Amino acid sequence: MINLEVPRKFKPLVRQAQEVAGEVLRPISRKYDRAEHDRPVELDMLAAVIDGMNEGNSEVGGTGATGVRRDAAANDGVNRNGTNLSTALSIAELCWGDVGMLLAMPRQGLGNSAIASVANDEQLKRFKGRWAAMAITEPGCGSDSANIRTTARLDGDHYVLNGEKIYVTSGDRADLVVVWATLDKSLGRSAIKSFVVEKGTPGFELARLEHKLGIRASDTAAFILKDCRVPKENLLGDPDIQPEKSFAGVMQTFDNTRPLVAAMAVGLTRACIEEMERILKECGVVPDYNRPLHRQPSAVAELVTMKADYEAARLLTMQAAWMADNTQPNSLQASLAKAKAGRTCVNVALKCVELAGSIGYTETALLEKWSRDAKILDIFEGTQQIQQLIIARRLLGKSSAELK
């Protein structure tokens, strides 16, 4: 049975992540928000430390957004708290420090989670220790990833990729990019596969870096693929097109990464609430939990409501990660966590800016930055609307063709 307290064996990990967030990430948060596209060099040494932690304890994992993998042998009725849960917990702490910094952490990209989800043992060994970004979105294909138009054609020992990818997080700095492409447009979603493209591959060109509202410490790239030849050994998962399960295998990536994005939102939400509590305390406004809310200042009622939403988002996130550790299907729970945490983060950040007044709107505090960072957590890895659609399909037992 699930226990939503932080497991004892993960408490040192959480404490280390808290120290990193408070001592390393938070102090340079504003610096790299202003210096968009500058690489946070302070993270290089931190990434090396995280790599060492991953090597030293594979069960617990490091403090970054490392790739997580379901253990098929874990389906034996034994309760396991593994790398999915530990990674979610550490990500929440690091995003209390800074969301963009987490995304800019070397070798900790969301593409690593994609590789961990569906790669075979040979690919896991070959790509180990390398930083992987993930390229799904296209100019004509955003939240509906089944509508991908980038093509992959088998030519001898290589696949030839053609298309355009946009909004690739860490695309410029990463070593590898996991590119989603279709083997046959006429077959729809079942023909979509993911390919690991190494930087420097001919035909894989960086088109531009985006200027963004938030998470400015992290680069966001656009790529053009023109007759880009990728070894067929770099295709992740089954190369055959199997309509009954092909796209589901690719989509399993989201079942792993959506709880991680939810954890990012949980960490940022807590940062906003704690800062708001500090500001209210300085003004002499402190919640009294022994009195009804209608007999306290309205700011207290707002604060308590935000805390309730935060706790719901946190528990949903832990549940989705725990289910992945225990090989339980978690597509519904991953979308529930992502939808609740993303929306809560945006609402809480904006409400804190509102309650703080001029303090929340200026650069004298981090609330205005957090309100800008928060919005992406409700967008990437599937927008709020897409999550609600997935949830409705799961609850009603409808297919994507039956409920659009």
* Strands (E) located in 156-285: 158-169, 176-182, 192-198, 204-209, 220-231, 235-236
388/403 Cα distance (integer angstroms) = 11
> For residue 151, what are the β-bridge partners?
162, 182
The amino acid present at 50, given as its one-letter code, is I
Angstrom distance (rounded) from CA 79 to CA 85: 12
Cβ–Cβ < 8 Å for 150, 161: yes
Residue 283 gets which letter from DSSP? T
Of the candidates 275, 302, 368, 381, the residue annotated as catalytic is 381
What CA–CA distance (Å, rounded) separates 396 from 332? 11
Question: Does residue 198 have an active-site annotation?
Answer: no
Q: CA separation (Å) from 295 to 83, 112, 292, 299, 342?
A: 45, 50, 6, 11, 31
C-alpha span between 329 and 339 (Å, rounded): 18
Tokens of 139: 């100019």
Residues 6+ apart with CB under 8 A from 293: 300, 301, 304
Give the up-direction half-sphere exposure of residue 106: CA atoms within 13 A in the CB hemisphere.
16
Give the amino acid at 117.
Answer: S
Active-site residues: which are they?
381
